[in-house]
Amino acid sequence: MREKTILVTGATSGIGSAIAQLFHENGAVLVAVGRSQEKLRALTSNLGERIWTYPADLSELGNVRKLFDFCRENELKLDGIVHCAGVTLNCPLRANDITETEHLMRTNVEALIEICHFASSGRYVNKGASIVALSSTASLCGARGLAAYSASKAAVNNLVKSAAMELSLRQVRVNAIAPAMVRTPMYYDTIAQIPEMEAAVRANQPFGLIEPESIAEIAAFLMSSKAKYITGSVLVVNAGNII
């Protein structure tokens, strides 16, 4: 990844933070995107040089265009994009709030559509670039209380396949990683709201909670030339939970 310019959304927490740190260690120039200016400053302080930061809430879809304009204005033509920004919604269908569902869909799905829209242009993204989106095994099996989240990640899976077909004309690859439960703040938020989830994870993931650094390694593989023939794929990381 030395001297490649990689954009990472959701770079200040969980999987996104692990990816940003690993990519930076391997020589990438980072464009780190997160909602918290304070957390972005902390990331910059931790990583030092070769990092640009852009504070944005990507559920406001106009911010996606502003982000790509920022990259262009600073001559940051991208070799890769990892879309880690995402939200969950833990509630049964009987308690569903459509406003919260719309926010989830904008962040998890519509922002990714916009990212792929700009990635289709040679003005922003180099030929041969790689896009990696974060999905979830919930997209394949669902779970109680996670209907909207599961639906959003299933949409990501199919978006990746369609985008891969279109962007292959520019030799741009598009893939997704679909992990089971990962040790992130989102996981702990989920079990706080759905306490029975913790026991289910212990029972169904015999290899245990996945560490964010393991997902970062897989993202690095998909970003590298070693994966140059892989596109339109959803790589499932199930920790032994065979679906």
Annotated catalytic sites, by residue? 149
Q: How far is CA 2 from CA 25, 38, 240, in A?
A: 9, 27, 34
Question: Phi/psi of residue 9, each to 5°?
Answer: -90, 155
Q: How far is CA 99 from CA 47, 148, 171, 240, in A?
A: 37, 12, 38, 35
Q: Among 186, 169, 240, 177, which Cα is nearest to 214's? A: 177
Q: How far is CA 36 from CA 33, 112, 212, in A?
A: 9, 20, 20
Please tell me what DSSP assigns to residue 227. G
DSSP string, 124-161: TEEEEEEEEEE--THHHH--TT-HHHHHHHHHHHHHHH
User: If DSSP codes are grouped into helix, strand and coil, which group holds residue 108?
Assistant: helix
